[in-house]
Structure 1
């Protein structure tokens, strides 16, 4: 049992409130998983300044100035670093892939939790409410946010086992449930040259979707292929900077609810995470059907 939340803001007037609204949603799901939590935030101008790339990094201990100097030296252009609890956000005027390569070369033992032009990923071990406060999540701005509270069943309680899994540029995936055949698919992906950071079954799904998107498929096609390939019980939320998609397995035993208004689209494992959203009393609300991909584009 884990908790998923996601919020896609259609109305720019709500962008300054993204973090406030996402915090309320995430904390409502805290009792579905209290060992770790994570969020992905798209478009915060402080965390991911416009025109720059950002890499979210965990398992670093050096001072931010030291990290910035080291990564900037490897990159050949200045790098700035801010720290939110245990997450280092490294930004620079370059491409996300170039910055990711520079961070990995400089700190090969660090965990890259996400990368892109607009994406900041924050993950940690502990109570979701405590983590949200430590990140200052309520102050975040942007057009889209995804969150997850974890009750570990498939791998260790570590930052690398926490969701979201953000393994492609400006992409992320969160998951409630379990994949029964993840070990087989992990072996196949490793044989194709895909690197893994954890033994978590969710990472296998994220790597699979990222591989599909990198091959030029859209998110709907990628998730339909996932449904045809993976066995198990799951509700998934997959996003990138321009899209927001939800799918459940063929039995749809893992809970999910979607709400939509002219101002926003939101989903959560339970309705109570949506009940505080502005205008929810006028929203269209439904449970997603089995193996139907629901997707929205910015």
Structure 2
């Protein structure tokens, strides 16, 4: 969002975009919403196959372990906000809630994803009522791995970072082995999680997102369009052939991306937007802080 008066409508607008693309991705859907926590707070999104058990009295048990936190349950997910570090919370979960997965961590990101139609996933988590500075959504047709919550997009492997991917990587197995050698172990068999972890590793070496995405053009084989969310905005890159569809739209109020134009048609003022197809092998990035 470039116009902050639209921030309360972010979830509603993203929901419409996702639902419009249902026939491209009827197996699962996910959404990362960015809305900053108070200074010094850490936010973790948790996912459980047994939320009635895993989230029952979670706040109380955390407090007993010396971790003061708020816990907001949304269906199979819960958002935990705390002054403690993400590492301390992860250590608690490994001991006391080993079946719980952490889908995202950071200061701003909340990451919800589940199997099912986009309209059902949106309703399940109350996405339409969510506001924020920016967001990334994805609907999936499972072609590279099973229809599971774990295999759904977005994937987050770094603080306030997430990735969605349209395409297929041919060298993801080699990259997975390289990342494992560096101590980065992935949870799913999805090649998109490998791409997310690759970018996280590149940024850990001191590169910014733009530099990491440019490195991906050299190191990742296959065909792909990536949309990557960060705490301050989102980036887009397509492979040098650019065989997967992609369209951008920008107005004075927002910047939007869709794999097809129909995802954008319900956005406010779209009839006056500058609409274009991102160039191959070109990195685009928008920063909401600079836009403000």
TM-score interval, normalised by the smaller of the two chains: over 0.9
Residue in structure 1 matched with residue 112 of structure 2 by the alignment: 122
Q: Distance in 1 between matches of 2:141 and 2:129?
A: 26
The SS at the match of 2:114 is: strand
Q: Distance in 1 between matches of 2:159 and 2:225?
A: 22
Tell me the TM-score normalised to structure 1 length: 0.91
Residue in structure 2 matched with residue 187 of structure 1 by the alignment: 177
2:165 corresponds, among 175, 180, 186, to 175
1:120-172 Cα shifts (integer Å, max 9, x gaps): 00010111111101111100011101100011111111111000001110110
The yes-or-no answer on 1:22 pairing with 2:14 is yes
Q: Report the CA distance between 1:10 and its aligned residue.
A: 1.1
The SS at the match of 2:155 is: coil
| Between 84-93 and 116-125, the greater mean CA deviation after superposition | 84-93
Residue in structure 1 matched with residue 244 of structure 2 by the alignment: 254
Q: 1:276 to 1:256 in 2, by over 3 A?
A: same
Q: Report the CA distance between 1:104 and its aligned residue.
A: 3.7
The SS at the match of 1:159 is: coil
Residue in structure 1 matched with residue 213 of structure 2 by the alignment: 223
1:270-289 Cα shifts (integer Å, max 9, x gaps): 11111111111111111111
Partners of 1:54 and 1:99 within 8 A in 2? no
1:91-141 Cα shifts (integer Å, max 9, x gaps): 222334443443344323322111111110001011111110111110001
2:64 corresponds, among 73, 76, 81, to 73
Residue in structure 2 matched with residue 270 of structure 1 by the alignment: 260
The yes-or-no answer on 1:86 pairing with 2:76 is yes
Tell me the TM-score normalised to structure 2 length: 0.93
TM-align CA RMSD: 1.6
1:225-246 Cα shifts (integer Å, max 9, x gaps): 1111011111110011112100
Q: Distance in 1 between matches of 2:34 and 2:91?
A: 21
The yes-or-no answer on 1:207 pairing with 2:202 is no
1:80-100 Cα shifts (integer Å, max 9, x gaps): 222212112222223344434
Partners of 2:54 and 2:100 within 8 A in 1? no
Q: Report the CA distance between 1:67 and its aligned residue.
A: 2.0
Q: Distance in 2 between matches of 1:85 and 1:50?
A: 27
Q: Distance in 2 between matches of 1:34 and 1:102?
A: 35
**Structure 2 unaligned runs (5+)?**
none
Q: Report the CA distance between 1:49 and its aligned residue.
A: 6.3
1:54 corresponds, among 34, 39, 43, to 43
Q: Distance in 2 between matches of 1:278 and 1:262?
A: 11
Q: How many residues align?
A: 286
Partners of 2:31 and 2:113 within 8 A in 1? yes
The SS at the match of 1:166 is: strand
Q: Distance in 2 between matches of 1:100 and 1:38?
A: 22
Q: Distance in 2 between matches of 1:147 and 1:81?
A: 23
Q: Distance in 2 between matches of 1:60 and 1:163?
A: 17
Partners of 1:15 and 1:141 within 8 A in 2? yes
Residue in structure 2 matched with residue 42 of structure 1 by the alignment: 34
Q: 1:96 to 1:262 in 2, by over 3 A?
A: farther
1:289 corresponds, among 266, 279, 282, to 279
